[in-house]
Homo-oligomer: A and B are copies of this chain.
């Protein structure tokens, strides 16, 4: 069978990993693909930058036209980050008649609709397994393996950096700042980890999963999100006392009112699969109406897990499966049926609330009263003595209520005289 010629754009961590797989495991990949995948061209922005992989002389250049003009290259792995110039380059690659495999979730979250429409016009395909959850093949599982199902919910840990930080805080009692510094030292967090720890990265990935599973067109910037950057070790201890562990959970849940989408630190019951996901691992728990609950976990980032996903897509492109999937699913198509996104204020759930209050009589009664005004009833309470004299932390687990009711109750509690510090609220997933 004829070879499939592949080009890479970007030779950072993931690009180097893909190049290594293509060169060092050529025979094995040929066996799995029924043909050879030949690395023909690599285009980078800076030839002088040190690289993680040794490539034959003449393979690497800074000239995109060497790829777009090469009639014998069929597939391009677009492995640079960021939105521009990745978007412009992707359009040029499609227009030159080549298919694209990409790991760039920011690009898809921002311009998926445009890129997929252009690919369809040109009869080209785009595959993006590596864009979400690294080594977990969640894109293929949602778009193919579970295709007999109406997906009902997705609960996922999609940011490995945050999960690593949470695991370190919990296991070693490290502060948030120390855990971040540790993650940076080990390469799990970037110098500026904002997008990872504030929930933005998880929201971008959730937007992509929600589109695949529900046909929802969600602007990721409008997905309600909270990060782990405001978490306190005290909350981890209280969570444990209540039988939970805190995870940055990305949720897509189909209800009669539409699709709920949100990302936030959430109390997850100990002993359940999501609670046991440690370190830099990601996980996705999917409920389908036929299959029931299916759970996936694996490394969410890193050179070789992501390269594994990119190369699986390259093989799918080479054998023709990716083109079929792309044509069949009409992803990001303007004509696809749309699912309305629920108003976040109406999203239901149980909540963990923590207040710092003056150690004086009737405080609990007053807070319970303010919660009660919003029809929020209390499931359990923890009150321990605190180190700061005269101030006690008060932890409340609620019964089922809504985001809106909790927000209104907390606004009222903000105004009481006995309050001594900021309140904490987290969703609870049972």
* Residues in B whose Cβ lies below 8 Å from that of A311: 147-148, 290
Listed A/B pairs (28) with beta-carbon separation below 8 Å: A17-B290, A21-B148, A25-B148, A28-B150, A29-B147, A29-B148, A33-B147, A33-B328, A34-B328, A135-B291, A135-B292, A135-B294, A137-B294, A140-B140, A144-B312, A144-B316, A147-B315, A148-B308, A148-B311, A273-B276, A289-B304, A290-B308, A291-B299, A291-B304, A291-B309, A296-B296, A320-B320, A321-B321
* Residues in B whose Cβ lies below 8 Å from that of A141: 137, 140-141, 145
Interface string of A159-188 (1 = CB under 8 A from B): 000000000000000000000000000000
* Residues in B whose Cβ lies below 8 Å from that of A309: 148, 291
Interface string of A23-63 (1 = CB under 8 A from B): 00100110111100000000000000000000000000000
Interface string of A348-381 (1 = CB under 8 A from B): 0000000000000000000000000000000000
In Å, the complex CA distance between A276 and B273 comes to 7
* Residues in B whose Cβ lies below 8 Å from that of A292: 135, 298-299, 302, 304-305
A136 to chain B, nearest CB (A): 6
From the candidates B136, B290, B305, B328, name the one contacting A305 in the complex (CB within 8 A): B290
Task: Determine whether A337 belongs to the interface, using a CB cutoff of 8 Å to chain B.
Answer: yes
A3 to chain B, nearest CB (A): 14
Whether A137 contacts B129 by the Cβ 8 Å rule is: no
Whether B32 contacts A147 by the Cβ 8 Å rule is: yes
In Å, the complex CA distance between A319 and B327 comes to 10
A155 to chain B, nearest CB (A): 14
Task: Determine whether A307 belongs to the interface, using a CB cutoff of 8 Å to chain B.
Answer: yes
A173 to chain B, nearest CB (A): 18
* Residues in B whose Cβ lies below 8 Å from that of A25: 148, 150
Most buried by B among A145, A315, A316, A337: A145
In Å, the complex CA distance between A315 and B308 comes to 25
In Å, the complex CA distance between A147 and B316 comes to 9
Whether B145 contacts A137 by the Cβ 8 Å rule is: yes
Q: Which residue of B lies closest to A280 (CB)?
A: B292
Task: Determine whether A401 belongs to the interface, using a CB cutoff of 8 Å to chain B.
Answer: no
Task: Determine whether A324 belongs to the interface, using a CB cutoff of 8 Å to chain B.
Answer: yes
Q: Which residue of B lies closest to A1 (CB)?
A: B328
In Å, the complex CA distance between A31 and B215 comes to 11
Q: Which residue of B lies closest to A283 (CB)?
A: B295
Task: Determine whether A85 belongs to the interface, using a CB cutoff of 8 Å to chain B.
Answer: no
Contacts A140-B140, A148-B308 supplied; 15 other A-B pairs, CB < 8 Å: A17-B290, A25-B148, A135-B290, A135-B292, A137-B145, A144-B315, A148-B307, A148-B315, A149-B308, A290-B305, A291-B305, A292-B305, A293-B298, A293-B299, A295-B298
Task: Determine whether A271 belongs to the interface, using a CB cutoff of 8 Å to chain B.
Answer: yes
Whether A298 contacts B294 by the Cβ 8 Å rule is: yes
